[in-house]
Amino acid sequence: MITRRSLLKQIGLFTAGTVLIKDANAFSFAGNKKVGVQLYTVRNEISKDAKGTLRKIAGLGFKEVENFGYNGKFFGMDPAEYKALLAELKMKATSGHYMYGNFGNKKIPGTILNGWDQAVTDAAAIGQKYMVVAYLMPEERTSINDYKKIAAELNIAGKKCKDAGIQLCYHNHDFEFQEIDGQIPFDILTKETDPSLVQIELDLYWVMKAGKDPIALFNQHKGRIALWHVKDMDKTEGKNFTEVGNGVIDFATIFKNAELSGMKHFFVEQDVCPGSPFDSIKMSIDYIKSNLIKYLA
């Protein structure tokens, strides 16, 4: 005979088991969201000692890196050498930053407009899953027509990426949200590109600097925001960069809405650090692991 007490006990055990299963699933899911770092944060150090810098990054607990500065090589290494080093350090270069490349007569290799095919080949060789247009120079974005032309080029570049098993993304700053001739450049870049060819790397700091709500953008571009840049904004009037958890950005709410955005990977970045960038990114990764990873479930 099942008594009320035994029934309640069974329900309690079932509930506890369900919670344990849920927690286990949450841990598994969160484990797939490895904390990455955009290597621009340690640009000065990596220019002096690339291999030593990457070893320090691995020692801090980062499992993924986002490259920058590709010029036919990765920090002075050819694809095979760089891939071997990452494998030794048990890290992956999931993503990389590239420039659009409209510099007048100056030809910069590995940009959308110059040497893109080779850049895609090399990115695939090291196992990159994402290539990201990192920044538009002021002279590249003087009008809405400039943005329309860029959008068309992004579709072409994105198709080449897709054919190689790579996803092209566009990384924002704040200027894309500043109106030009009654239009918002970010809207042009998203509306005039194919979502399957061009996704978004949303820089959360610059979104906030532009006065925009990240969650509103998640809703507007559901499932299209594959990558995040996670960096905080300090509490001063200057709204400067600071370590994650030290500033005013509500990362808890943002991380709770990760699925809505479509986020697959995120990268800590701090453009300017008050001291050693290794100290700053350690503070950020410690905060993320202690306070935010739990929401990726």
**Phi, psi (degrees; rounded to nearest 5) at 277:** -65, -25
Span 239-294, pLDDT tens digits: 999 999 999 999 999 999 999 999 999 999 999 999 999 999 999 999 999 999 99
pTM listed for this prediction? 0.89
CATH code: domain 34-295 is: 3.20.20.150
Name beta bridge partners: 171: 201
With the C-alpha atoms ordered 150, 151, 154, 159, is the resulting torsion angle positive or negative? negative
Q: Is the pLDDT of residue 44 over 80?
A: yes
pLDDT of residue 32: 57
The 10s digit of each residue's pLDDT in 178-195 is 999 999 999 999 999 999
Structure confidence by residue, pLDDT tens digits, 187-238 = 999 999 999 999 999 999 999 999 999 999 999 999 999 999 999 999 999 9
pLDDT tier, 175 (very low <50, low <70, confident <90, very high otherwise)? very high
Q: Where are the domains of the chain?
A: 1-32, 34-295
How many whole angstroms separate alpha carbon 61 and alpha carbon 63? 6
Tell me the three state secondary structure of residue 255. Answer: helix
